[in-house]
Amino acid sequence: MSKLANFGYSKVTTKEKTKLVQKVFSDVANNYDLMNDVMSFGAHRLWKKSFIDIVNPSTGDKIIDVGSGSGDLVLEILKKDLNLKIDMVDLNKAMLLEGKKRIKNKNVKFFQESAEKLSFLNNKYDKYLISFCLRNVTDIDQSFKEAFRILKPGGQYYCLEFSRPNSFVLANIYSYYKSNIIPTFGKIFSNNRDAYNYLNESIDLFPTQDELKKRIESVGFKSVKYKNLFNGIVSIHTGYKF
C-alpha cells in the first residue's frame, strides 16, 4: 500500500502530492512575487532580509538555496557583493525559469531537483538555505538527511518557514486572515483561489517550532534553535553539522 501524505487537508499518495504541489506552483509562477507582496503586505521582504542577516554569507562560501523559486534570497545575498558561489535548486521548472529571468550572475547556477534527492556530492556546501519551501516537500525528514549529507563538517542549515504565533489573539486573527482573505486575494490577483487555499492548509498542518526543532535534530544536526519573527507567524530554524 502506498504511503499517504497531506496535500492540504486531503490525503494523497506521496507521488500524487509531489505532482499536485508542482501544479500549484506552475499555475502561480508568473504572479508569485506579486502575490507574496499582496498576501504579506510586503512583510516577506523584511523576513527574508532578516533571514539573510542571520545566514551572514561570507566571501568564499559555497551556498545552496533549495526551493529557490524566483530567487529573492539569492538577490538579497548578491546585494552584498561577495565572492561566493550559489547553487539554486527548485523542482518546479516554471519557478526556476522565473529565477533565471531575474538573476544573471556567473557565480549562480540553476538545478531542477528535489529536496529529497539531490545530485550533489557529500560535504560540499558551507550553508544550506530553504525558505517558504519546506511545507511543500513531500518527505521533510528525508530533506533534512539530504541537507546534512551535502553540508561540510561545520556547515550550517537555515530554514525560514511559516509557523505558529505565540499570542492566542494574534493566532485567531491570523487563522481567519489566511483561511478567508488570502484565498480571496488569490482569486483577485491570480485567478487561482485553490492554490491559496492550499497555502492556508499547508501552514495549518506544518509542525510547530518545537516539533520541527526535534525533527531537525533527529538527523544529526546540533545546536538547533529557532527565532520567531512577527510573534511566530514565521520562524527561522538553524543548526550545525559537526
User: Which pLDDT score, from 0 to 100, does residue 1 have?
Assistant: 44
DSSP H helical ranges for the chain: 14-28, 32-40, 43-55, 72-78, 93-102, 140-150, 168-176, 182-190, 193-205, 209-218
Q: What percent of the chain has pLDDT over 90?
A: 64
Collapsing DSSP to helix, strand or coil, 82 comes out as coil
Most confident of 27-31, 188-192, 227-231: 227-231
Beta-ladder partners of 127: 63, 156
Separation between Cα atoms, residue 207 and residue 77, nearest integer Å: 28
- Tell me the C-alpha distance between 214 and 219, whole Å: 9
| Rounded average pLDDT over 177-203 | 78
Cα 65 from Cα 129, distance rounded (Å): 5
- Which domains are delineated in the chain? 22-167+194-240 (3.40.50.150)
What is the phi/psi pair of residue 224, to 5°? -75, 130
In this prediction, residues 180-202 reach a mean pLDDT of: 77
Check whether 160 has a pLDDT greater than 80.
yes
Confidence (pLDDT) at 223? 98
pLDDT at 40: 83
Mean pLDDT across the chain, nearest whole number? 89
Q: What is the pTM of this model?
A: 0.89
Q: Is the pLDDT of residue 14 over 60?
A: yes
